[in-house]
Structure 1
Amino acid sequence: MPTADAVDLSYAIGLPPEEAIAYFKEKGYAISFKWQDVWAEAHARAFTVSGITRLDVLTDVREALTAALENGETLADFQNRLQPLLEAKGWWGKGRIVDEATGEILGKRLNPRRLETIFRTNLQSSYMAGRFQEQLASAELRPYWEYVAVMDNRTRPAHRSLHGRVFRYDDPFWSRFYPPNGWNCRCRVRTRSARDMERLELLASSSEGRLEEVDQPIDREGNTRKVIAFNDPATGKRFVADPGFGFNPGVAAYEPDLSRYPPELAKQYRKYKEAA
């Protein structure tokens, strides 16, 4: 078992929470050539892989991801399951698929590097959606949520800057920056009780007055999208999730059974939903 501070995705998906599996299974499909075509919350509601424009290939990828989530499979298991199917259909390798008769670009092939990004991002989003539901359900006892980054040489500086920061569960910060906050993001959230806060001498931060709408570049052509940024008083810098992220996957995709929540927590969930 990993230590409390370790983030081992294979261990996480090996547990798999029912909420995470439900999140992934309830997604519909969206066909897109560019990842920018299916934006943020829409990505949480519809499964898509940029460059895959054939529904049968998209279905193959989704079914392989579902199996990995349900069975606690590794990246290698995922690739071994999917690669023969992609090879048979001509979608494995490098480069684009082009119609020889018309010259039309039909899609982009998949390779080990792209499969790793697809695997980690989709399973991390699904797992974190399940984690959010569980954590919100117990927020009366553990109302303080701590941002936890993996502090190694692969961690983005911006994500590193949030490591150890604590916000209450009902702070608007979590409606936009509950992990993952980017491609291959490995961050997570740990809950704390009032007793934990006192024992560990932790201080809660607040995003009040520090969230603002900004223009974020999303491609090399200079196109932008309106996103929410957090002006961090601890660093003096602006934190913005990677393009296409910046939403809470546990809120955007589906509605939990709020009857099992205490009234105050159900009310807070609805606030999250409005913010999404």
Structure 2
Amino acid sequence: MTQGIDLGYAATLPSKEAVAYFRAKGAHISWNWFETAADVHARSFTAAKAARLDVVTTLQAEVQRAIDEGISQKEFIRTLTPRLQKLGWWGKQVVVDSAGNAEEVQLGSPRRLALIYNVNTRVAYNAGRYTQMMNNTDTHPFWQYVAVIDSRTRPEHAKLHLLVFRFDDVFWQTHYPPNDWECRCRVRALSAARMKAMGLTVSYGASYMHTHEVDAGTDKASGELFRTTSTTFDNGRVKMTPGVGWSYNPGSAAFGTDQALIRKLI
């Protein structure tokens, strides 16, 4: 089982911005994760195969508590397991949809809850950091991509480690972390003085961003193929494409890019 959120910056949770981001989310019911557009993911809470509102709201409430109170992944799983079992949303079950199609699906499980915890706390943290950094672009206009460099880090994510782009560079529209399932990357803001002291240079996304359509997944019952867009950054030295469905910025998708408006929202 995945252990904790395993981030060096986890001690910063909960920030008021992360709490505000998740609290603003509504509930959204979907069967497959790829049926939900990125902007809807940014503004609503959903869990694949959770087709009942009581299940979705139970999960959402506990994720909110995790962000509000900084509870551990272990506590999150321990608390939710009996509640979801009581609701009948647990283990592998054969589910029949409205068209009469039967499908064996994995509902709740410790592994599933670990993923829900990790994804939602990390997205909330990074969206919260986005609003914090957008409030300080006058003094810290340079944003640095920071990957966790260990054996679990994807090579493509490691390639972006320590690259710096201006806060308003197009790169951040599609490559602001998390950039895939279980991604642990983050962003930190730097001042011009700090940039000079560290000997850093600014990278640019313009001319190096390539957007294309990719298959997101196929509904097993209907056979319908869902497609989405994905954007690759390739400057000749570094090439990185976020995982399918992750090529967006959760902070700007939820709050926009207008600094004056963000200051009012948070």
TM-score (norm 2): 0.86
1:97 CA drift (Å): 4.1
Q: Give % identity.
A: 35
| Equivalent in 51, 56, 59 of residue 57 of structure 2 | 59
Distance 1:67 1:184 in 2: 20
Aligned to 1:205, what secondary structure does the other structure show?
coil
Please name the residue that 2:150 is paired with: 152
C-alpha displacement at 1:217, in angstroms?
A: 2.9
* Equivalent of 1:203 in 201, 204, 219: 201
Spell out, residue by residue over 1:180-229, the C-alpha distance to the aligned partner (whole angstroms, 9 max, x if none).
11111100001111111111111110011111221223236875422222
SS, match of residue 218 in structure 1: strand
CA deviation string 1:139-189 (max 9, x = no partner): 111111110000001111110110010101111111111111111110000
- 1:60-106 per-residue CA deviation (whole Å, 9 max, x = no partner) reads 1000100111111000111111111011122122x23435xx67449
Contact 1:10 1:74 in 2 (8 A): no
Query: Partners in 2 of 1:47 and 1:80 — Cα distance?
Result: 21
In 1, the alpha carbon distance for the partners of 2:113 and 2:198 equals 40
Match of 1:44 in 2: 42
Which structure 2 segments of 5+ residues have no match?
Answer: 1-5
Alignment partner of 1:116 is 2:114: yes
Aligned to 1:258: 260
Given the superposition, is the C-alpha separation of residues 259 and 208 from structure 1 closer, same or farther in structure 2, using an over 3 Å criterion?
Answer: closer
Partner amino acid for 1:89?
Answer: L
Counterpart of 2:55, as a letter, is V
* Partner in structure 2 of residue 271 of structure 1: none
Q: Secondary structure at the match of 1:184?
A: coil
Q: CA RMSD in A?
A: 2.3
- Paired residues in the alignment total 250
Write the distance in 1 (CA, Å) between the matches of 2:10 and 2:193. 31
Matches of 1:113 and 1:232 in 2, distance apart? 37
The offset of 1:112, in angstroms, is 1.1
Q: Which moved more, 1:196-205 or 1:223-232?
A: 223-232
**Which aligned pairs between 1:1-276 and structure 2 lie closer than 5 A?**
7-8=7-8, 10-13=10-13, 16-93=14-91, 95-98=92-95, 104-105=102-103, 108-219=106-217, 224-235=227-238, 237=239, 239-254=240-255, 258=260
Note if contact 2:115-2:182 (Cα within 8 Å) is conserved in structure 1: yes
Q: Look up the SS of the partner of 2:56 in the other structure.
A: helix
Shift of 1:10: 4.2
**Separation in 2, partners of 1:110, 1:232:** 42
Secondary structure of the residue aligned to 2:213 is: strand
2:33/2:47 contact within 8 Å kept: yes
> After TM superposition, where is structure 1 displaced by more than 6 Å over at least 4 residues in a row?
none
Contact 2:131 2:262 in 1 (8 A): no
SS at structure 1 position matched to 2:177: coil
Contact 1:52 1:108 (8 Å CA) reproduced = no
Structure 1 residues 215-224 or 68-77, which shifts more? 215-224
Contact 1:53–1:106 under 8 Å retained in 2:
no
1:260–1:76: structure 2 CA closer, same or farther, 3 Å change rule? closer
Specify the alignment match of 1:273 in structure 2: none
Gaps of 5+ in 1: 1-5, 267-276
